[in-house]
């Protein structure tokens, strides 16, 4: 391949705009019969697409710009392009980070460590199961109720007390049921509780 073919095959590739222009000038010097207009035309045809677009938008074309003007212009165009790309990447990263934060903020998936689903009592099926099995709503232990759970943070304990109704002691023991089961002799406060005859127990 002679030097003219090398010149015609030379493309910008990963080179900066100014380095590409310099490379064309160096090859043209070895050919001997190429002038600045040939170099400018070679640059115009084989530079990166965004440079072609920007040069066209500026109303420029080979033969209407000098080598010095082209050098200055492509350096400024390339710098502006790199700044725009960097700003676009930051914008995309910011959008991605915000999306992740938003997803985390509205995520109510069950916590695999605690076994709860986004709230203290979890879903209705779980709550009903724990109530039927007389287990703690927090850790599912049978040894204590929710109000005495050692895993219960103080803030959650307050909220659970508010959520708990007057007829439920936290593990599904109805206060009214206990009143039906037991009654006390009003005449003798020291007497043991007697079984409620109405319940048959």
Give the model's pLDDT for residue 117.
43
Model confidence at 156, in pLDDT bands (50, 70, 90)?
A: low
| pTM exceeds 0.75 | no
Give the angle 48-19-58 at the CA atoms, nearest 5°. Answer: 45
Mean pLDDT of 23-46: 93
- The pLDDT of 167-184, averaged and rounded, is 49
d(CA 149, CA 146) in angstroms, rounded, equals: 5
Residue 140 CA, distance from chain mean position: 33
Q: Which of 83, 65, 182, 198 is nearest to 174 (CA)?
A: 182
State the helix-helix crossing angle for 17-31 and 36-46, rounded to 10 degrees: 130
Looking at 10-24, 32-46, 100-114, which range is the least confident one? 100-114
What mean pLDDT is predicted for residues 174-189? 50
pLDDT at residue 174 is higher than 60: no
Proportion of the chain above pLDDT 70, given as a percent: 59
Closest CA to 46 of 76, 9, 79, 86: 9
Rounded mean pLDDT of 57-76? Answer: 91
pLDDT of residue 99: 59
Phi-psi group of 32: left, alpha or beta (phi > 0 → left; psi -120 to 50 → alpha; rest → beta): left
Sorted by where each begins, the domain ranges of the chain are 3-100, 124-199
Mean pLDDT of 177-193: 51
């Amino acid at each position: 391949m002679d030097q003219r073919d090398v010149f015609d095959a030379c493309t910008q590739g990963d080179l900066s705009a100014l380095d590409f222009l310099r490379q064309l000038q160096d090859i043209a010097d070895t050919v001997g019969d190429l002038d600045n207009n040939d170099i400018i035309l070679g640059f115009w045809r084989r530079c990166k697409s965004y440079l072609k677009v920007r040069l066209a938008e500026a109303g420029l074309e080979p033969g209407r710009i000098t080598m010095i003007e082209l050098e200055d212009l492509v350096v400024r165009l390339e710098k502006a392009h790199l700044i725009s790309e960097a700003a676009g990447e930051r914008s995309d990263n910011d959008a991605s980070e915000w999306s992740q934060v938003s997803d985390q903020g509205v995520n109510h998936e069950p916590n695999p460590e605690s076994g709860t689903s986004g709230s203290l009592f979890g879903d209705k099926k779980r709550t009903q199961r724990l109530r039927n099995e007389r287990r703690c709503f927090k850790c599912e232990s049978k040894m204590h109720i929710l109000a005495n759970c050692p895993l219960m943070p103080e803030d959650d304990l307050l909220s659970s007390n508010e959520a708990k109704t007057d007829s439920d002691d936290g593990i599904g023991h109805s206060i009214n049921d206990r009143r039906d089961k037991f009654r006390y002799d009003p005449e003798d406060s020291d007497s043991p509780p007697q079984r409620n005859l109405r319940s048959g127990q």
